[in-house]
Amino acid sequence: MSFTLQLGQQAPDFSLPATDGLTYSLADFADSDTLVVFFTCNHCPYVVGSDEVTRATAERFASRGVRFVGINSNSNSVATKPLDAFEHMETRMRTNKFPWVYVRDDSQAVAKAYGALRTPHFYVLDRDRKLIYTGRGVDYPRDTTLITVNNLEDALHEHLSGRPITVPLTNPIGCNIKWDGQDEHWMPIEACDLVL
């Protein structure tokens, strides 16, 4: 069994607290025909480097019924990344006013259920909440001046146009998820990059 959620599989549900004071599950996005779940954090240079591209994509597709939810699953222990603590998430959202819900996966159970590998790691879900795209947002998330392809936008364009997604699977590019009790570079043994 693969570590990462496979194309066509049903997205695992969650119930996670958000920086806006509410708790969210998949049902809270029932009014959206397409949902983008992405694993993110506060500090990763690949996340920070591509935040504005992700913002532009979220804003561009909002009128077409696409919602975004960012999940921070990183351990915030002293040994890993204390900057990923919830209070820093709240500050980040107040400062940047990103157009997505930002939730905290403190137990890391949701990251394990989705098989999140890196930050950022995107999962596009259809109306039935089945996986139709997973992987990177863009090919150069750390330096967006070098971008040659925006896989996330391409996938959303094709899906919303009723066409099959040409490239439904890519390798996420970024820092690995910071797992509790482990060195910051550790990954589960069963987790490997997606094979294309």
Q: How confident is the model at residue 1 (pLDDT cuts 50, 70, 90)?
A: very low
Q: How confident is the model at residue 77 (pLDDT cuts 50, 70, 90)?
A: confident
The pTM score is 0.94
Mean pLDDT of the chain: 93
Render pLDDT for 124-173 as a digit per residue (tens, 0 to 9).
999 999 999 999 999 999 999 999 999 999 999 999 999 999 999 999 99
Residues 6+ apart with CB under 8 A from 25: 13, 14, 15, 16
H-type alpha helices, 7-150: 45-62, 86-96, 109-114
Whether a cis peptide bond, with omega within 30° of 0, leads into 188 is no
63, pLDDT greater than 80: yes
AA letter at 70: G
Render pLDDT for 26-55 as a digit per residue (tens, 0 to 9).
999 999 999 999 999 999 999 999 999 999
Domains in the chain, please, with CATH?
Answer: 9-191 (3.40.30.10)
